[in-house]
């Protein structure tokens, strides 16, 4: 019975992570379509002005959803990698190479995605006359930056979930061995 509850809990957390990842991806795609265009840029001599738009809000939503999904996924992986309470006191926890590799890849893609989404979102904010985005100059987000960030968000979630699945399957195999050892 306890195994059934764990499985349902795992599936619930798994579906939450997938949902947050998809919301992050969709927010990036919508931000790509809503980002400021060259025609929105107003130039007055050396001064420029770019009105804020909806891409800013979608970028923030993408960042929040991706960050929450990454945190939840890492908590799930860490919980699965740690041994039972009895073993935790006497043995070191096992760290499979595949789980660690996917986890590192997840963090690298997460870092790049956050930097890209953060910069593009910041550029989508209102840029006032004489202030601009950087060095008193207005900047526009290049085509494909939000889309590429969305793909990186999916890669992050995929590698995070892959790591969680591998760590869970190893835990269940070890539990199965313990049951057979106790019976025999």
Token pair 């985005």 is at which residue?
Answer: 133
pLDDT of residue 88: 47
Question: Please, which pLDDT band fits residue 2 given cuts at 50, 70 and 90?
Answer: low
Contacts for 100 with CB less than 8 Å, ≥ 6 apart: none
Residue 92 belongs to domain spanning: 2-183
Task: Tell me the C-alpha distance between 148 and 153, whole Å.
Answer: 9
| Structure confidence by residue, pLDDT tens digits, 111-157 | 999 999 999 888 887 777 766 566 666 778 789 999 999 999 999 99
How many alpha carbons fall within 13 Å on the CB side of residue 148?
A: 12
Instruction: Specify the pTM.
Output: 0.78
On the question of pLDDT at 29 being above 80, the answer is yes
Question: Please, which pLDDT band fits residue 22 given cuts at 50, 70 and 90?
Answer: very high
On the question of pLDDT at 86 being above 50, the answer is no
Count of structural domains, the chain: 1
pLDDT of residue 64: 97
Q: 50: which DSSP letter?
A: B
Token pair 């760590």 is at which residue?
Answer: 167
Whether residue 20 contacts residue 65, with contact meaning beta carbons closer than 8 Å, is answered with: yes
Residue among 102, 116, 9, 104 at smallest CA distance from 66: 116
How many alpha carbons fall within 13 Å on the CB side of residue 143?
A: 2
Strand partners, 43: 48
Whether residue 144 contacts residue 173, with contact meaning beta carbons closer than 8 Å, is answered with: no
Of all residues in the chain, what percent carry a pLDDT higher than 90?
37
pLDDT of residue 141: 78
Stronger pLDDT, 47 or 53, i.e. the higher one: 53
């Amino acid at each position: 019975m306890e195994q059934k509850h764990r499985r349902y809990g795992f599936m619930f957390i798994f579906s939450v992570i997938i949902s947050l990842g998809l919301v992050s991806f969709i927010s990036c795609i919508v931000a790509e379509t809503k980002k400021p265009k060259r025609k929105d840029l107003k130039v007055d001599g050396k001064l420029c002005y770019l009105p804020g738009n909806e891409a800013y809000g979608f970028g923030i939503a993408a960042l929040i959803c991706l960050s929450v999904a990454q945190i939840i996924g890492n908590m799930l992986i860490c919980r699965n990698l740690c041994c039972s309470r009895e073993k935790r006191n006497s043995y070191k926890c096992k760290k499979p190479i595949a789980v660690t590799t996917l986890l590192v890849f997840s963090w690298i893609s997460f870092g790049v995605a956050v930097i890209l989404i953060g910069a593009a979102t910041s550029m989508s904010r209102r840029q006032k006359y004489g202030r601009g985005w950087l060095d008193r100059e207005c900047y526009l987000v290049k085509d494909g930056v939000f889309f590429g960030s969305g793909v990186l968000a999916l890669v992050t979630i995929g590698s995070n979930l892959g790591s969680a699945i591998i760590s869970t399957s190893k835990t269940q195999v070890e539990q199965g061995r313990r049951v057979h050892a106790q019976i025999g």
